[in-house]
Chain A
């Protein structure tokens, strides 16, 4: 658990350092995710790969409770609803419509290209 958490934090720290050092438009945690993935793939390429099972408790613990992590920020939104009210109707329509359009466009494009390539769907 602690070993896994330490590796995750280390990757995030490296990601933050690269993001701030180079001014890339990517946030530190996203760079950290890419770094951790590369480490796992490189490890597989070694003649005798290290056991990475220690990562699972920390990573799965975080991901199964991902919803919880958005509660503090969500509570902050409730306090700022007055900011939204000035352009309430326009913003509401724009947010709802564009989210639905984004969902449909993404999913249909994915499915259409997968069908073109004759890939089987994963249910």
Chain B
């Protein structure tokens, strides 16, 4: 703390900058650029996930400077806001690959129903076996769905929307990190199936990962993300009532 009595000097500058959106927006982009370099240097290993590294770097900055998340988000919201437009933009790869997509309509429909139920039922049964109470299970049920929808579903089931968002992001990180090695271990080479699974089980983070791997995989991940939001919104109340 080297600030002079009138609040100017080094510390005064920090106080000023840390309150403007500019600082934390810049930190978010720099953390991502650094994370991307680190991920590339590690040969894009699935564990060296760019989002996870960037989150760790930015969270480290927040902790080191004792900055509250609310202050950070005033800058970072400009990036966060773009999730909505990016979801709309998924229409373009869908359109470009419309013939491939249309040919796969039956495999997609079957995989959608089986996958959505498998992800939700297994999470709820394991949670119940560990004695997790019903209100927390309500936040757990929509964990494979994109965050905005999951929060709405959880709230409708009597769960905490904020907890749902946290569980959604952790699910996305697990899916993004495991999908490539898992699919390789299964010997599955169909990029449509691999991408569809990533988008269904791990929403936007799985979709981002799929686009890194292959354009067809990314397209099918985007479709799965959108369809699973619809299917889980319909199935979650039914499944939760049946299991509790």
Contacts and interface: CB of A to CB of B under 8 A. Distances in A.
Nearest to A10: B88
B132 A87 contact: yes
B239 interface: no
A113 B103 CA distance: 12
Q: Interface size for chain A: under 10, 10 to 19, 20 to 34, or 35 or more residues?
A: 35 or more
B122 A91 contact: no
Nearest to B167: A95
A98 B148 contact: no
Contacts, number: 330
Q: Is the interface of B mostly helix, strand, loop or mixed?
A: helix
Q: Is the interface of A mostly helix, strand, loop or mixed?
A: helix
B126 A123 contact: no
Interface of A: 5, 8-9, 11-12, 15, 25-30, 32-37, 40-41, 55-56, 58-60, 62-64, 66-80, 83-84, 87, 89-91, 93-114, 117, 119, 121-123
The 4 tightest CB contacts between A and B, nearest first, are: A90-B130, A102-B119, A106-B115, A72-B76
A81 B72 CA distance: 17
A70 B58 CA distance: 12
Contacts of B149: 25-27, 30
A109 B173 CA distance: 23
Contacts of B50: 67
